[in-house]
Structure 1
Amino acid sequence: MDKVILKNLKFDLAVGLDAWRRFDKPQPVSITVEVVPTSNLEAAAAQDNVNLSLDYGKLYKTLAGNLTNGVYHNIHVLISSLAEMMPDYAFLDIDIHFPKALLQVSGGVLYRLQVDNSTPGVTTPSLTLDIKQIACACIIGVNPHERLYKQSLFINVSIPIITTALGPKPNETHYTAELHDMVQEIVERVDGSSYHTIEALASAVAQIVTLNYGHTVAKVRVEKPNAIATIEASAVEITRSKTFFENKDFWKVKKP
Protein backbone atom coordinates (compact mmCIF):
# COMPACT_ATOMS: atom_id res chain seq x y z
CA MET A 1 0.00 0.00 0.00
CA ASP A 2 1.21 3.50 -0.81
CA LYS A 3 1.59 5.80 2.17
CA VAL A 4 2.21 9.44 2.95
CA ILE A 5 4.03 9.89 6.26
CA LEU A 6 4.70 12.77 8.63
CA LYS A 7 7.20 11.61 11.23
CA ASN A 8 7.60 13.01 14.74
CA LEU A 9 5.80 16.34 14.67
CA LYS A 10 6.76 18.07 17.92
CA PHE A 11 4.27 20.00 20.05
CA ASP A 12 3.71 21.19 23.61
CA LEU A 13 0.11 20.27 24.38
CA ALA A 14 -2.02 20.07 27.51
CA VAL A 15 -3.68 16.64 27.33
CA GLY A 16 -5.41 15.35 30.45
CA LEU A 17 -3.04 15.11 33.39
CA ASP A 18 0.69 15.76 33.22
CA ALA A 19 3.28 13.66 35.08
CA TRP A 20 2.48 15.52 38.33
CA ARG A 21 -1.28 14.89 37.88
CA ARG A 22 -2.03 18.52 37.01
CA PHE A 23 -4.67 19.53 34.47
CA ASP A 24 -4.07 21.98 31.61
CA LYS A 25 -0.28 21.83 31.87
CA PRO A 26 1.54 21.58 28.51
CA GLN A 27 3.87 18.64 28.02
CA PRO A 28 5.97 17.49 25.06
CA VAL A 29 4.09 15.42 22.50
CA SER A 30 5.43 13.74 19.36
CA ILE A 31 2.94 12.74 16.64
CA THR A 32 3.56 10.49 13.63
CA VAL A 33 0.91 10.15 10.94
CA GLU A 34 0.78 7.49 8.21
CA VAL A 35 -2.00 7.89 5.64
CA VAL A 36 -2.92 5.38 2.94
CA PRO A 37 -4.89 7.41 0.35
CA THR A 38 -8.04 6.11 -1.28
CA SER A 39 -6.09 5.88 -4.55
CA ASN A 40 -2.43 4.95 -5.00
CA LEU A 41 0.37 7.33 -5.93
CA GLU A 42 1.04 5.98 -9.43
CA ALA A 43 -0.42 8.98 -11.24
CA ALA A 44 1.62 11.44 -9.15
CA ALA A 45 4.77 9.46 -9.90
CA ALA A 46 4.05 9.06 -13.62
CA GLN A 47 3.40 12.77 -14.16
CA ASP A 48 5.68 14.02 -11.38
CA ASN A 49 2.77 16.16 -10.18
CA VAL A 50 2.12 16.81 -6.49
CA ASN A 51 -1.50 17.75 -7.25
CA LEU A 52 -2.13 14.07 -8.05
CA SER A 53 -0.83 12.96 -4.66
CA LEU A 54 -1.78 13.51 -1.06
CA ASP A 55 0.11 16.74 -0.38
CA TYR A 56 2.05 16.18 2.85
CA GLY A 57 2.95 19.87 2.97
CA LYS A 58 -0.70 20.88 3.21
CA LEU A 59 -1.35 18.15 5.77
CA TYR A 60 1.56 19.37 7.89
CA LYS A 61 0.31 22.97 7.79
CA THR A 62 -3.18 21.81 8.82
CA LEU A 63 -1.87 19.85 11.77
CA ALA A 64 0.66 22.44 12.90
CA GLY A 65 -1.81 25.31 12.58
CA ASN A 66 -4.55 23.61 14.58
CA LEU A 67 -2.54 21.85 17.29
CA THR A 68 -0.13 24.55 18.42
CA ASN A 69 -0.72 25.42 22.08
CA GLY A 70 -3.81 23.22 22.19
CA VAL A 71 -5.64 22.12 25.36
CA TYR A 72 -7.43 18.73 25.30
CA HIS A 73 -9.49 17.29 28.12
CA ASN A 74 -8.24 13.75 27.46
CA ILE A 75 -6.47 11.66 24.86
CA HIS A 76 -9.75 10.79 23.12
CA VAL A 77 -10.47 14.44 22.36
CA LEU A 78 -6.99 14.88 20.86
CA ILE A 79 -7.43 11.75 18.74
CA SER A 80 -10.81 12.94 17.50
CA SER A 81 -9.34 16.33 16.58
CA LEU A 82 -6.51 14.69 14.65
CA ALA A 83 -8.87 12.35 12.79
CA GLU A 84 -11.05 15.26 11.70
CA MET A 85 -8.02 16.97 10.12
CA MET A 86 -7.18 14.03 7.89
CA PRO A 87 -7.97 13.98 4.16
CA ASP A 88 -9.89 11.07 2.65
CA TYR A 89 -8.05 7.85 3.36
CA ALA A 90 -8.35 4.08 3.18
CA PHE A 91 -6.16 3.39 6.21
CA LEU A 92 -4.77 5.67 8.89
CA ASP A 93 -2.13 5.17 11.59
CA ILE A 94 -1.48 7.84 14.23
CA ASP A 95 1.18 7.43 16.93
CA ILE A 96 1.02 9.92 19.81
CA HIS A 97 4.03 9.75 22.11
CA PHE A 98 4.23 11.49 25.50
CA PRO A 99 7.89 11.09 26.55
CA LYS A 100 7.40 12.61 30.01
CA ALA A 101 3.86 11.55 30.86
CA LEU A 102 4.67 9.53 34.00
CA LEU A 103 7.33 10.06 36.64
CA GLN A 104 8.33 6.39 36.96
CA VAL A 105 8.48 5.71 33.20
CA SER A 106 11.71 6.19 31.24
CA GLY A 107 10.37 5.62 27.73
CA GLY A 108 7.13 7.53 27.94
CA VAL A 109 3.60 6.62 26.93
CA LEU A 110 2.55 5.83 23.35
CA TYR A 111 -1.02 5.79 22.04
CA ARG A 112 -1.33 4.03 18.67
CA LEU A 113 -4.50 4.56 16.64
CA GLN A 114 -5.21 2.42 13.59
CA VAL A 115 -8.27 3.06 11.42
CA ASP A 116 -9.57 0.89 8.59
CA ASN A 117 -11.73 3.08 6.35
CA SER A 118 -11.38 0.94 3.22
CA THR A 119 -15.00 -0.30 3.18
CA PRO A 120 -17.50 2.45 2.21
CA GLY A 121 -19.65 3.45 5.16
CA VAL A 122 -17.68 1.34 7.65
CA THR A 123 -14.97 2.84 9.88
CA THR A 124 -13.11 0.46 12.19
CA PRO A 125 -10.77 2.09 14.74
CA SER A 126 -8.49 0.41 17.26
CA LEU A 127 -6.40 2.08 19.95
CA THR A 128 -3.48 0.61 21.86
CA LEU A 129 -1.64 2.07 24.84
CA ASP A 130 2.05 1.24 25.34
CA ILE A 131 3.77 2.19 28.60
CA LYS A 132 7.48 2.03 27.89
CA GLN A 133 10.12 1.19 30.47
CA ILE A 134 8.57 1.43 33.91
CA ALA A 135 11.64 1.65 36.14
CA CYS A 136 11.54 -0.87 39.01
CA ALA A 137 13.89 -2.85 41.24
CA CYS A 138 13.51 -6.14 43.12
CA ILE A 139 15.21 -9.40 44.03
CA ILE A 140 15.07 -11.42 40.80
CA GLY A 141 17.02 -14.46 39.60
CA VAL A 142 18.15 -17.96 40.56
CA ASN A 143 21.88 -17.41 41.05
CA PRO A 144 23.17 -16.96 44.62
CA HIS A 145 24.55 -13.48 43.95
CA GLU A 146 21.16 -12.40 42.52
CA ARG A 147 19.51 -13.22 45.84
CA LEU A 148 21.65 -10.64 47.69
CA TYR A 149 20.74 -7.34 46.04
CA LYS A 150 17.87 -5.81 44.14
CA GLN A 151 18.27 -5.51 40.37
CA SER A 152 17.03 -2.66 38.21
CA LEU A 153 14.29 -3.72 35.80
CA PHE A 154 12.36 -2.14 32.96
CA ILE A 155 8.75 -3.20 32.47
CA ASN A 156 6.73 -2.49 29.33
CA VAL A 157 2.94 -2.82 29.36
CA SER A 158 0.71 -2.82 26.27
CA ILE A 159 -3.09 -2.79 26.51
CA PRO A 160 -5.92 -2.32 23.99
CA ILE A 161 -8.32 0.54 24.68
CA ILE A 162 -11.89 0.80 23.47
CA THR A 163 -12.32 4.10 21.68
CA THR A 164 -15.28 5.91 20.17
CA ALA A 165 -13.24 9.06 19.71
CA LEU A 166 -13.82 9.41 15.98
CA GLY A 167 -16.32 11.66 14.27
CA PRO A 168 -17.99 14.93 15.28
CA LYS A 169 -18.81 13.86 18.85
CA PRO A 170 -15.70 12.63 20.64
CA ASN A 171 -15.79 10.65 23.84
CA GLU A 172 -16.24 13.18 26.65
CA THR A 173 -15.73 10.74 29.51
CA HIS A 174 -13.92 12.56 32.29
CA TYR A 175 -10.22 11.82 32.48
CA THR A 176 -9.22 9.75 35.47
CA ALA A 177 -5.91 9.12 37.19
CA GLU A 178 -6.12 5.35 36.67
CA LEU A 179 -3.07 5.23 34.42
CA HIS A 180 -0.97 7.00 37.05
CA ASP A 181 -2.41 4.78 39.79
CA MET A 182 -1.69 1.59 37.83
CA VAL A 183 1.96 2.46 37.20
CA GLN A 184 2.41 3.55 40.82
CA GLU A 185 0.95 0.25 42.04
CA ILE A 186 3.20 -1.76 39.71
CA VAL A 187 6.30 0.06 40.96
CA GLU A 188 5.38 -0.35 44.63
CA ARG A 189 4.39 -4.02 44.34
CA VAL A 190 7.49 -4.97 42.33
CA ASP A 191 9.73 -3.12 44.77
CA GLY A 192 8.49 -5.31 47.62
CA SER A 193 8.70 -8.60 45.74
CA SER A 194 11.26 -11.37 45.30
CA TYR A 195 11.17 -13.83 42.39
CA HIS A 196 13.35 -16.47 40.83
CA THR A 197 11.98 -15.99 37.30
CA ILE A 198 10.94 -12.98 35.27
CA GLU A 199 8.16 -15.17 33.86
CA ALA A 200 6.48 -15.15 37.27
CA LEU A 201 7.08 -11.43 37.76
CA ALA A 202 5.67 -10.60 34.32
CA SER A 203 2.58 -12.67 35.16
CA ALA A 204 2.16 -10.79 38.44
CA VAL A 205 2.28 -7.45 36.62
CA ALA A 206 -0.29 -8.68 34.06
CA GLN A 207 -2.48 -9.72 37.00
CA ILE A 208 -2.46 -6.14 38.33
CA VAL A 209 -3.25 -4.64 34.94
CA THR A 210 -6.16 -6.94 34.17
CA LEU A 211 -7.77 -7.69 37.54
CA ASN A 212 -7.17 -4.39 39.34
CA TYR A 213 -7.75 -2.05 36.39
CA GLY A 214 -10.26 -3.95 34.28
CA HIS A 215 -8.30 -4.46 31.05
CA THR A 216 -9.33 -7.56 29.13
CA VAL A 217 -5.79 -8.43 28.07
CA ALA A 218 -2.27 -7.20 28.77
CA LYS A 219 1.09 -7.72 27.09
CA VAL A 220 3.95 -7.40 29.60
CA ARG A 221 7.68 -7.40 28.90
CA VAL A 222 10.20 -7.49 31.75
CA GLU A 223 13.83 -6.64 30.93
CA LYS A 224 16.87 -7.37 33.14
CA PRO A 225 19.70 -5.10 31.96
CA ASN A 226 22.27 -6.57 34.38
CA ALA A 227 21.57 -10.30 34.04
CA ILE A 228 24.25 -10.93 31.37
CA ALA A 229 27.11 -8.45 31.19
CA THR A 230 27.78 -8.76 27.45
CA ILE A 231 24.24 -8.00 26.22
CA GLU A 232 21.96 -5.01 26.63
CA ALA A 233 19.25 -6.96 28.43
CA SER A 234 17.58 -10.32 28.82
CA ALA A 235 13.80 -10.22 28.69
CA VAL A 236 10.56 -12.18 28.73
CA GLU A 237 7.33 -11.02 27.10
CA ILE A 238 3.95 -12.57 27.85
CA THR A 239 0.34 -11.87 26.89
CA ARG A 240 -2.38 -12.78 29.39
CA SER A 241 -6.14 -12.26 29.46
CA LYS A 242 -8.18 -11.28 32.47
CA THR A 243 -9.82 -14.71 32.56
CA PHE A 244 -6.41 -16.39 32.86
CA PHE A 245 -6.09 -15.14 36.43
CA GLU A 246 -9.23 -16.77 37.74
CA ASN A 247 -8.14 -18.90 40.71
CA LYS A 248 -4.50 -17.85 40.23
CA ASP A 249 -2.37 -15.48 42.27
CA PHE A 250 1.16 -14.56 41.24
CA TRP A 251 1.67 -12.19 44.19
CA LYS A 252 2.32 -14.96 46.71
CA VAL A 253 4.85 -14.23 49.45
CA LYS A 254 8.32 -14.90 48.16
CA LYS A 255 11.37 -15.63 50.29
CA PRO A 256 14.92 -14.67 49.20
Structure 2
Amino acid sequence: MAMIMEPTSMGADKVHINGLRFETVVGLDAWHRPGKSQPVELSVHLMPASTHGLEQAAQEDSVAYTIDYGKLYKQLQTLFSQKYDTVHQLYQAIRTILPPTRSWLINITLPKGILAAGKGLQLTWNGSIDGSNASVMQIMTVSDIDCRCIVGVNPHERLEKQRLQISITIWGLENRLSPSLLAGVSIDPSPTLIYQDMVQSVVEVSQTLNLDT
Protein backbone atom coordinates (compact mmCIF):
# COMPACT_ATOMS: atom_id res chain seq x y z
CA MET A 1 0.00 0.00 0.00
CA ALA A 2 1.22 3.50 -0.82
CA MET A 3 -0.23 6.88 0.08
CA ILE A 4 1.01 9.90 -1.88
CA MET A 5 0.11 13.57 -1.75
CA GLU A 6 1.35 15.89 -4.47
CA PRO A 7 0.77 19.55 -5.33
CA THR A 8 -0.35 20.41 -8.86
CA SER A 9 0.02 23.42 -11.08
CA MET A 10 -3.66 24.16 -10.47
CA GLY A 11 -2.89 24.91 -6.82
CA ALA A 12 -4.79 21.87 -5.57
CA ASP A 13 -3.55 18.64 -4.07
CA LYS A 14 -3.74 15.20 -5.56
CA VAL A 15 -4.05 12.32 -3.14
CA HIS A 16 -3.20 8.79 -4.27
CA ILE A 17 -3.92 5.69 -2.20
CA ASN A 18 -2.57 2.73 -4.11
CA GLY A 19 -2.43 -1.00 -3.61
CA LEU A 20 -4.99 -1.52 -0.86
CA ARG A 21 -5.79 -5.22 -0.49
CA PHE A 22 -8.78 -6.66 1.33
CA GLU A 23 -10.77 -9.88 1.56
CA THR A 24 -14.50 -9.32 1.34
CA VAL A 25 -17.72 -10.66 -0.17
CA VAL A 26 -18.46 -9.02 -3.53
CA GLY A 27 -21.18 -10.86 -5.44
CA LEU A 28 -20.21 -14.34 -6.56
CA ASP A 29 -16.72 -15.77 -6.31
CA ALA A 30 -14.93 -17.41 -9.25
CA TRP A 31 -16.92 -20.61 -8.68
CA HIS A 32 -20.22 -18.65 -8.79
CA ARG A 33 -20.85 -19.10 -5.07
CA PRO A 34 -22.62 -16.31 -3.13
CA GLY A 35 -21.39 -15.21 0.27
CA LYS A 36 -17.78 -16.28 -0.29
CA SER A 37 -15.06 -13.71 0.34
CA GLN A 38 -12.44 -13.05 -2.31
CA PRO A 39 -9.40 -10.77 -2.75
CA VAL A 40 -10.17 -7.17 -3.68
CA GLU A 41 -7.55 -4.62 -4.71
CA LEU A 42 -8.34 -0.91 -4.50
CA SER A 43 -6.71 2.33 -5.62
CA VAL A 44 -8.22 5.79 -5.06
CA HIS A 45 -6.99 9.02 -6.66
CA LEU A 46 -8.58 12.30 -5.58
CA MET A 47 -8.32 16.01 -6.25
CA PRO A 48 -9.90 17.82 -3.28
CA ALA A 49 -12.56 20.46 -3.81
CA SER A 50 -10.74 22.80 -1.45
CA THR A 51 -8.54 25.45 -3.07
CA HIS A 52 -6.10 25.16 -0.19
CA GLY A 53 -2.99 23.14 -0.89
CA LEU A 54 -0.20 21.31 0.84
CA GLU A 55 1.66 24.56 1.48
CA GLN A 56 -1.09 25.99 3.69
CA ALA A 57 -1.58 22.65 5.43
CA ALA A 58 2.12 22.69 6.26
CA GLN A 59 2.05 26.32 7.43
CA GLU A 60 -0.92 25.71 9.70
CA ASP A 61 0.28 22.25 10.70
CA SER A 62 -3.23 20.93 10.07
CA VAL A 63 -4.69 18.38 7.65
CA ALA A 64 -7.90 20.41 7.70
CA TYR A 65 -6.59 22.19 4.60
CA THR A 66 -6.27 19.02 2.59
CA ILE A 67 -7.44 15.38 2.65
CA ASP A 68 -6.61 13.40 5.77
CA TYR A 69 -5.60 10.21 3.99
CA GLY A 70 -5.11 8.35 7.29
CA LYS A 71 -8.74 8.94 8.19
CA LEU A 72 -9.83 8.02 4.67
CA TYR A 73 -7.92 4.74 4.84
CA LYS A 74 -9.63 3.78 8.11
CA GLN A 75 -13.04 4.56 6.58
CA LEU A 76 -12.23 2.40 3.55
CA GLN A 77 -11.06 -0.39 5.82
CA THR A 78 -14.41 -0.31 7.62
CA LEU A 79 -16.31 -0.61 4.33
CA PHE A 80 -14.56 -3.86 3.49
CA SER A 81 -15.92 -5.55 6.61
CA GLN A 82 -19.34 -5.50 4.92
CA LYS A 83 -20.83 -7.60 2.11
CA TYR A 84 -21.78 -6.38 -1.37
CA ASP A 85 -23.99 -7.91 -4.04
CA THR A 86 -22.03 -6.25 -6.88
CA VAL A 87 -18.83 -4.35 -7.52
CA HIS A 88 -20.95 -1.33 -8.43
CA GLN A 89 -22.53 -1.43 -4.98
CA LEU A 90 -19.06 -1.39 -3.43
CA TYR A 91 -18.12 1.60 -5.58
CA GLN A 92 -21.20 3.51 -4.43
CA ALA A 93 -20.28 2.79 -0.80
CA ILE A 94 -16.78 4.16 -1.41
CA ARG A 95 -18.18 7.29 -3.05
CA THR A 96 -20.35 8.07 -0.01
CA ILE A 97 -17.34 8.34 2.30
CA LEU A 98 -15.10 10.41 0.04
CA PRO A 99 -14.47 14.03 1.08
CA PRO A 100 -15.60 16.79 -1.32
CA THR A 101 -13.55 16.43 -4.51
CA ARG A 102 -13.15 18.04 -7.91
CA SER A 103 -12.31 14.72 -9.50
CA TRP A 104 -11.83 11.10 -8.53
CA LEU A 105 -10.59 7.86 -9.99
CA ILE A 106 -11.55 4.66 -8.21
CA ASN A 107 -10.11 1.38 -9.41
CA ILE A 108 -11.45 -1.93 -8.05
CA THR A 109 -9.86 -5.20 -9.13
CA LEU A 110 -11.04 -8.72 -8.41
CA PRO A 111 -7.86 -10.62 -9.37
CA LYS A 112 -9.54 -14.00 -8.85
CA GLY A 113 -13.09 -12.97 -9.72
CA ILE A 114 -13.27 -14.90 -13.01
CA LEU A 115 -11.85 -18.38 -13.26
CA ALA A 116 -10.89 -18.25 -16.95
CA ALA A 117 -9.47 -14.71 -16.79
CA GLY A 118 -5.89 -14.82 -15.55
CA LYS A 119 -5.87 -11.25 -14.25
CA GLY A 120 -9.53 -11.16 -13.28
CA LEU A 121 -11.96 -8.28 -13.46
CA GLN A 122 -11.09 -4.61 -13.18
CA LEU A 123 -13.57 -1.75 -12.92
CA THR A 124 -12.61 1.93 -12.98
CA TRP A 125 -14.75 4.99 -12.36
CA ASN A 126 -13.26 8.31 -13.51
CA GLY A 127 -15.42 11.20 -12.32
CA SER A 128 -15.27 14.97 -12.21
CA ILE A 129 -17.45 17.87 -11.09
CA ASP A 130 -17.79 21.10 -13.05
CA GLY A 131 -20.00 23.53 -11.16
CA SER A 132 -23.23 21.67 -10.48
CA ASN A 133 -22.60 19.06 -13.17
CA ALA A 134 -20.94 15.72 -12.50
CA SER A 135 -19.87 13.16 -15.07
CA VAL A 136 -18.51 9.67 -14.53
CA MET A 137 -16.83 7.43 -17.07
CA GLN A 138 -16.97 3.72 -16.30
CA ILE A 139 -14.40 1.29 -17.66
CA MET A 140 -14.62 -2.48 -17.32
CA THR A 141 -11.77 -4.79 -18.28
CA VAL A 142 -11.73 -8.59 -18.25
CA SER A 143 -8.04 -9.46 -18.52
CA ASP A 144 -6.27 -12.49 -19.99
CA ILE A 145 -9.24 -14.65 -20.93
CA ASP A 146 -7.85 -18.11 -21.59
CA CYS A 147 -8.69 -19.38 -25.11
CA ARG A 148 -7.38 -22.11 -27.40
CA CYS A 149 -7.62 -22.25 -31.16
CA ILE A 150 -5.79 -22.89 -34.42
CA VAL A 151 -3.58 -19.90 -35.23
CA GLY A 152 -2.13 -19.61 -38.73
CA VAL A 153 -2.66 -21.34 -42.07
CA ASN A 154 0.51 -23.41 -42.49
CA PRO A 155 0.09 -27.19 -42.20
CA HIS A 156 2.27 -27.51 -39.08
CA GLU A 157 0.28 -24.72 -37.39
CA ARG A 158 -2.96 -26.62 -37.86
CA LEU A 159 -1.91 -29.71 -35.94
CA GLU A 160 -2.62 -28.37 -32.49
CA LYS A 161 -4.53 -25.54 -30.88
CA GLN A 162 -2.45 -22.79 -29.33
CA ARG A 163 -3.17 -20.99 -26.11
CA LEU A 164 -4.21 -17.36 -26.37
CA GLN A 165 -4.93 -14.76 -23.71
CA ILE A 166 -7.39 -12.08 -24.75
CA SER A 167 -8.50 -9.00 -22.81
CA ILE A 168 -11.59 -6.90 -23.46
CA THR A 169 -12.36 -3.37 -22.26
CA ILE A 170 -15.75 -1.63 -22.32
CA TRP A 171 -16.17 2.13 -21.87
CA GLY A 172 -19.34 4.06 -21.17
CA LEU A 173 -20.80 7.07 -19.39
CA GLU A 174 -22.37 6.10 -16.08
CA ASN A 175 -25.70 7.81 -16.78
CA ARG A 176 -25.98 6.28 -20.24
CA LEU A 177 -25.48 2.65 -19.32
CA SER A 178 -27.73 0.17 -17.66
CA PRO A 179 -26.50 -0.38 -14.09
CA SER A 180 -26.36 -4.11 -14.80
CA LEU A 181 -23.86 -3.63 -17.63
CA LEU A 182 -21.02 -2.70 -15.30
CA ALA A 183 -22.29 -4.38 -12.17
CA GLY A 184 -19.39 -6.79 -12.02
CA VAL A 185 -19.86 -10.19 -10.48
CA SER A 186 -23.44 -10.21 -9.25
CA ILE A 187 -25.99 -12.66 -7.93
CA ASP A 188 -27.77 -12.52 -11.30
CA PRO A 189 -26.10 -13.87 -14.48
CA SER A 190 -22.99 -11.73 -14.67
CA PRO A 191 -22.25 -9.56 -17.72
CA THR A 192 -18.56 -10.30 -17.23
CA LEU A 193 -19.19 -14.01 -17.59
CA ILE A 194 -21.29 -13.37 -20.70
CA TYR A 195 -18.39 -11.45 -22.26
CA GLN A 196 -15.92 -14.14 -21.25
CA ASP A 197 -18.07 -16.90 -22.74
CA MET A 198 -18.64 -14.84 -25.89
CA VAL A 199 -14.91 -14.32 -26.45
CA GLN A 200 -14.12 -17.98 -25.80
CA SER A 201 -16.89 -19.26 -28.07
CA VAL A 202 -15.91 -16.98 -30.97
CA VAL A 203 -12.19 -17.75 -30.70
CA GLU A 204 -12.30 -21.45 -29.93
CA VAL A 205 -14.65 -22.39 -32.79
CA SER A 206 -12.30 -20.67 -35.25
CA GLN A 207 -10.52 -23.21 -37.39
CA THR A 208 -8.14 -20.61 -38.80
CA LEU A 209 -7.15 -17.45 -37.00
CA ASN A 210 -4.55 -15.16 -38.56
CA LEU A 211 -3.44 -12.69 -35.92
CA ASP A 212 -1.76 -10.47 -38.51
CA THR A 213 -5.05 -9.44 -40.12
TM-score category (smaller protein): 0.7 to 0.9
In 1, the alpha carbon distance for the partners of 2:52 and 2:44 equals: 17
- For residue 117 of structure 2, the aligned residue among 93, 105, 111 is 105
Q: Equivalent residue of 2:197, what SS? A: helix
Unaligned runs of 5+ residues in structure 1 are 165-170, 201-256
Quickly say closer, same or farther: Cα 1:66–1:175, change in 2 above 3 A: same
Greater share of strand: 2
- For residue 196 of structure 2, the aligned residue among 183, 189, 198 is 183
- For residue 105 of structure 2, the aligned residue among 84, 93, 109 is 93
Quickly say closer, same or farther: Cα 1:19–1:199, change in 2 above 3 A: farther
1:67 shift after superposition? 2.0
Name the residue aligned to 2:83.
71
Name the residue aligned to 1:160.
171
Quickly say closer, same or farther: Cα 1:40–1:155, change in 2 above 3 A: farther
1:42 shift after superposition? 4.1
Name the residue aligned to 2:128.
116
Name the residue aligned to 1:81.
93
In 2, the alpha carbon distance for the partners of 1:10 and 1:141 equals: 41
Q: Please give the per-residue CA displacement for 1:145-200, whole angstroms capped at 9, x wherever unaligned.
A: 32222111110000125535xxxxxx699743332133123223322212342266
In 1, the alpha carbon distance for the partners of 2:152 and 2:57 equals: 56
1:10 shift after superposition? 1.0
Paired residues in the alignment total 192
Aligned residues of 1:127 and 1:160 also touching (Cα < 8 A): yes
Quickly say closer, same or farther: Cα 1:71–1:144, change in 2 above 3 A: same
Q: Which sits farther off after the overlay, 138-147 or 85-94?
A: 138-147
In the TM superposition, what are the counterparts of 1:19-98 in structure 2 within 5 Å?
Answer: 19-38=30-49, 39=51, 41-44=53-56, 47=59, 49-51=61-63, 52-68=65-81, 70-98=82-110
The one-letter code of the counterpart of 2:117 is V
Aligned residues of 2:149 and 2:209 also touching (Cα < 8 A): no
In 1, the alpha carbon distance for the partners of 2:198 and 2:162 equals: 18
1:28 shift after superposition? 0.6
Name the residue aligned to 2:3.
none
Compute the RMSD of aligned alpha carbons: 2.3
1:131 shift after superposition? 0.5
With normalisation by structure 1, the TM-score equals 0.68
In 2, the alpha carbon distance for the partners of 1:90 and 1:161 equals: 20
1:123 shift after superposition? 1.3
In 1, the alpha carbon distance for the partners of 2:45 and 2:61 equals: 20
With normalisation by structure 2, the TM-score equals 0.80
Name the residue aligned to 1:14.
25
Higher RCO by CA contacts (8 Å cutoff, separation 6 or greater): 2
Name the residue aligned to 2:137.
126
Name the residue aligned to 2:5.
none
Q: Which sits farther off after the overlay, 175-184 or 87-96?
A: 175-184
